[in-house]
Amino acid sequence: DVKVTQSSRYLVKRTGEKVFLECVQDMDHENMFWYRQDPGLGLRLIYFSYDVKMKEKGDIPEGYSVSREKKERFSLILESASTNQTSMYLCASSLYPRVTEKLFFGSGTQLSVL
Amino acid sequence: EDKVVQSPLSLVVHEGDTVTLNCSYEVTNFRSLLWYKQEKKAPTFLFMLTSSGIEKKSGRLSSILDKKELFSILNITATQTGDSAIYLCAVEALLDMRFGAGTRLTVKP
């Protein structure tokens, strides 16, 4: 089975801190994604990546950056955390060269910014 | 602007009931529609639909797509407490996948 692992289940940070969310997949998938999930808004795409060192903005990239130095690892960075970035963050990966197809999700990181 | 709308947003039923969850969409360059079940944290894949009128079935769950009217339904028959979850509808377009807000289903014993 594909495994997508997010490094933290729960994080509490202070406003202005730099935050790193890590995601690792073990099935050699080409595509990796970062979403945030908020009640009533569903999943919204922050950034995605088709390949190592490649990144594309999603719907809501403001306040975030990403890094993909290795194929299996996709990091989401909050340069200066703000309270409106309190959310559930979900990482996902997919095998095929097309953008999406079936996504495999990590278990999520609930981030609280105080 | 592309959008995916799910209804209802929440639903409470009793075990044994049958439920129908709805997903309507407006996207350019439609490729497929997917249903996911999210119980605790990680959504898990249920169905992918690409053709109109062809029902996909897995146990008590089934789903169908209408590409003319731009919607899909997810049916769950003889519901069980283990079906309690958020059900997410996602539509794959040319360059991205767009999610609906989800339907939170609660099945009471």
The domain ranges of chain A are: 4-108
Let me know if domain A4-108 sits in CATH 2.60.40.10: yes
Q: Do A105 and B90 touch (CB under 8 A)?
A: no
Check if the beta carbon of residue A66 is closer than 8 Å to that of residue A58: no
Binned at pLDDT 50, 70 and 90, residue B23 comes out as very high
What does residue B17 show for φ and ψ, rounded to 5 degrees? -70, 160
Between the alpha carbon of residue B107 and those of residues A91, B16, B86, the distances in Å are 28, 9, 11
Tell me what the mean pLDDT of segment B24-28 comes to.
91
**CATH code for position B56:** 2.60.40.10
pLDDT of residue B61: 97
Examine residue B109 and state whether it is found in any structural domain, yes or no.
Answer: no
Tell me what the mean pLDDT of segment A64-74 comes to.
96
Structural domain range at position B86: 3-104
Q: Do A108 and B42 touch (CB under 8 A)?
A: yes
Mean pLDDT of the residues in chain B:
92
Binned at pLDDT 50, 70 and 90, residue A76 comes out as very high
Cα(B34)–Cα(B88) distance, integer angstroms: 8
Q: Do B9 and A9 touch (CB under 8 A)?
A: no
Residue listed under structure tokens 């990239």: A61
Give the other-Cβ count within 10 Å of A70's Cβ: 11
To probe the interface with A, which of B3, B41, B99 has the most A CB atoms within 10 Å? B41
Cα(B70)–Cα(B51) distance, integer angstroms: 12
pLDDT of residue B14: 97
Domain count within chain B = 1
Between A28 and A23, the higher pLDDT residue: A23
Examine residue B17 and state whether it is found in any structural domain, yes or no.
Answer: yes
pLDDT digits (tens, 9 = 90+) for B38-83: 987 788 889 999 989 889 999 999 999 999 999 999 999 999 999 9
Using a CB-CB distance cutoff of 8 angstroms, which residues of chain A are in contact with residue B99?
Answer: 35, 42-44
pLDDT digits (tens, 9 = 90+) for A28-47: 888 899 999 998 888 899 99
Dihedral over alpha carbons A81, A84, A87, A93 (to 10 degrees)? -70
Examine residue B99 and state whether it is found in any structural domain, yes or no.
Answer: yes
Examine residue B76 and state whether it is found in any structural domain, yes or no.
Answer: yes
